[in-house]
A and B are shown apart, each in its own frame.
Chain A
């Protein structure tokens, strides 16, 4: 059974760095073709893809947020971490992690975490 769960602070101040952790089970990120991605959704708005890391430690980032994002993995802990620097109120959103099996570009988001709401406010 595949599960993913996001964790991190519910509230961050402007200019701070956000660190989110995705803890997953039911699959291994060392398996060829396996990837974990981060996606966010501001309240009442559409989904926005942020970043992806694959089994080979290759990383892909949203063009508009590339300078602020870092994605990493700890295969032994079954975790993927996303950091986002210089947080702003417009970054207020629900942040999801999701699995892709089939490599970057070759698959779809077949399993999602429940999401974690992050509010940016002083």
Chain B
């Protein structure tokens, strides 16, 4: 089955840039979506189809995808960005949705 691997945690200084990776076999050939989940809340879509932001999501959130790694970048990190982040793809070979292992972002 297809697997997506994320770092367990990422720390970033206030105002600096955080990069969260999502590794998968040839993930660059798939559409990757990213979700933010704050404690006790449902996930919220922050990036879809690799690099697109839904309305209401700050421009500080951006995404890229190539080769075996997709990346969510949070620029000018704010305290409110502290959350768990999950990547997600559709594996067409098995007709299954797959979520990454999740990354906890801490803003110092």
**Contact count band on B:** 20 to 34
Closest beta carbon of chain B to A59's beta carbon, Å: 10
- Measured between beta carbons, the chain B residues less than 8 angstroms from A60 are 95-97
Any A CB within 8 A of the CB of B48? yes
Interface residues of B (CB under 8 A from A): 1, 31, 33, 35, 37, 41-45, 48-49, 54, 86, 88, 90, 92, 94-102
Q: Contacts A63-B94, A105-B92, A115-B42 given; 10 further ones with Cβ under 8 A?
A: A46-B100, A47-B37, A63-B1, A105-B90, A105-B95, A108-B48, A108-B88, A109-B33, A109-B43, A112-B43
Closest beta carbon of chain A to B61's beta carbon, Å: 14
- Measured between beta carbons, the chain B residues less than 8 angstroms from A37 are 97
Of the residues B49, B86, B96, contact of A47 by C-beta under 8 Å:
B86
**How long is the Cα–Cα vector from A62 to B97 in the complex, in angstroms?**
8
Which of A47, A52, A60, A105 has the largest count of B CB atoms less than 10 A from its CB? A47
B102 near A108: Cβ-Cβ < 8 Å:
no
- Measured between beta carbons, the chain B residues less than 8 angstroms from A105 are 90, 92, 95
